[in-house]
Structure 1
Amino acid sequence: MLTELTPAHMDRYCARIGVPRAGAPDLDRLAAFQRGHVRAFTWEVLDAFMGWPNAIDPAAAFDKMIGGARGGWCYEMNGLLGAALSAAGFQVTRLCGGVRRADLGDGVVGNHLTLRVDLEQPWLVDGGLGDAPARPIPLAVGDHRHEFHDFGIEAADADWLRFRNHRFGAAPNFDFKADYTDEPRLAAQQAWLMADDGSPFRNNLVVMRHFDGRIESIVNRTRRTVTADGMTTEAMKNADDLAAALGGVFGLEIPDVAAVWAKVETLPKGEFE
């Protein structure tokens, strides 16, 4: 597995996220990498939703997200970010986490890849939850606020920690341990999420991206915009609406939007529809 990007890869990656290629591996630069990453790339699960091929290796994420006009989910978003941070001189650890372990139990552990970056203290860096705050967080129990987000890290059971997302977050929380790395479990969960009929991403179209002062998302038929004033929603009515959103707001080139919309139309209507 690719653990850091080559110099040629880094040139293209840094140009894409708008961060200078050279610089000291300090907190300001770490924050710039994370902020640039989540604003340059869209979080999306189209591969799982449509049954298209997907790989967990950051090298594949680079080809898909920089070589092509696509985004990715946690394995790709945090995988690529972690590989870039390693190449930039940061000490990065890939942590095995579990979204909604609080209510679903240990069986979900591995359904989320997150990152620990060690500077003068350890930091939680997550560009792969989709709508989580786009800044490094001290890896310790505490409450935080960033822009219009209230979030934090709290103690869970045993030696687990729990990241608590802001109130409009699509995923309310994920559990992790500061030193728990398990690549086989991450790979197994990625394969399950891609293929099993019980996978939430096989049964929901979810697309999210950070912008200055707002987070835009799609959940099935619904467009959502979160700002300091709250959340607004707008229903998409047809494949043209979906194509306009994916290609415009989210900057994605999807080969067959009509097929995506046809699957969306088979889904039961949700809370905002």
Structure 2
Amino acid sequence: MLTELTHEQMDRYCTRIGVPRKGAPDLDRLAAFQRGHVHSFTWEVLDAFMGWPNAIDPAAAFDKMIDGTRGGWCYEMNGLLGAALSAAGYQVTRLCGGVRRAELGDAVVGNHLTLRVDLDQPWLVEGGLGDAPVRPIPLAIGDHRDGYHDFGIEAADTDWLRFRNHRFGAAPSFDFKADYADEPQLAAQQAWLMADDGSPFRNNLVVMRHFDGRIESIVNRARRTVTVSGMATQAMTSADDLAAALGGVFGLQVPDVAAVWAKVETLPKGEFE
């Protein structure tokens, strides 16, 4: 598995996210990497939703997200970000987490990849939750505010920690341990999420991206915009609406949008649609 980007890849990545190629591996630069990454790439699960090929290796994420003008989910978003940070001189640990472990238990462990970066202290760097913070937060129990949303890390059971998302977050929380890295478990859950009919991403189209002052998202037929004032929702009613959103605000080049919309149309309508 690719652990850090090559020199040529790093040049292209830094150009894409608007961060200078050279600089000291300090906290300010770390924050610039995270913010640039989540503002430059869209979080999306189109591969799982449509049954298209998907790989957990950051090298594949680079090809897809840089060359293919696509986004990715946690394995790709945090995978690519972690490989870039390693190439920039940071000490990065890929942590094995579980979204909604608070509700669903240990069966979900590995359904989320998050990152620990060690500087003067350990920092949680989260570019793969879709609507999580745009800056590093101390990997310690406490409350944090990122621009206009409140987040937190709290104690869970035994030695697990729980990241608490903001009130409009698509995922309310994920659990992790500060030193728990388990690549086989991440790979197993990635494969399950891609293929099993019980996977939430096989049954829901979810797309999210950060912008200054707002988070834009698609959940099946609904377009959402979250700001400091709250959440506004707009219905999409056609493949043209979906194509305009994916290619416009989310900047994705998606093959066969008509097929994506056709599958969306088979889904039962949810709370916000």
Give the whole-Å Cα distance in 2 for the aligned partners of 1:163 and 1:146: 14
What SS does the aligned partner of 2:67 have? coil
Match of 1:194 in 2: 194
1:238 CA displacement? 0.5
Give the whole-Å Cα distance in 1 for the aligned partners of 2:21 and 2:153: 31
Match of 1:207 in 2: 207
Between the two proteins, the alignment pairs up a number of residues equal to 273
1:217-261 deviation digits (Å, cap 9, x = unpaired): 000000000001100000000000000000000000111000000
Give the whole-Å Cα distance in 2 for the aligned partners of 1:47 and 1:21: 31
Match of 1:224 in 2: 224
Match of 2:25 in 1: 25
1:133 CA displacement? 1.3
Match of 1:105 in 2: 105
1:160 CA displacement? 0.1
TM-score by length of 2: 1.00
Query: Match of 2:107, as an amino acid?
Result: G
Give the whole-Å Cα distance in 1 for the aligned partners of 2:242 and 2:152: 33
Query: Match of 2:85, as an amino acid?
Result: L
What SS does the aligned partner of 1:66 have? helix
Query: Match of 1:258, as an amino acid?
Result: A
What SS does the aligned partner of 1:249 have? coil
Matched, 1:72 2:72: yes
Matched, 1:131 2:154: no
Map 1:11-90 → 2, pairs under 5 A:
11-90=11-90
Give the whole-Å Cα distance in 1 for the aligned partners of 2:38 and 2:151: 17
TM-score by length of 1: 1.00
What SS does the aligned partner of 2:93 have? strand
Give the whole-Å Cα distance in 1 for the aligned partners of 2:259 and 2:46: 11
Give the whole-Å Cα distance in 1 for the aligned partners of 2:151 and 2:38: 17
1:105 CA displacement? 0.3
1:30 CA displacement? 0.2
1:146 CA displacement? 1.2
The unaligned stretches of length 5 or more in structure 1 are none
Match of 2:153 in 1: 153
What SS does the aligned partner of 2:248 have? helix
Segments of 4+ in structure 1 off by > 6 A? none
